[in-house]
Amino acid sequence: MTLEQARKIELNRVLLTCNQDNHGSARVIQKNNGKFASEGLLASNNKVIYRYWIDLGK
**pLDDT tens digits for 5-56?**
999 999 999 999 999 999 999 999 999 999 999 999 999 999 999 999 999 9
Structural domain including 40 reads 2-55
The pLDDT, as a whole number, for residue 1 is 85
Q: How many domains are contained in the chain? A: 1
Question: Is 57 a residue whose pLDDT tops 90?
Answer: no
Sheet with strand 35-42: strands edge to edge: 13-19, 47-55, 35-42
The pLDDT, as a whole number, for residue 58 is 62
**Is 1 or 5 the better-scoring residue by pLDDT?**
5
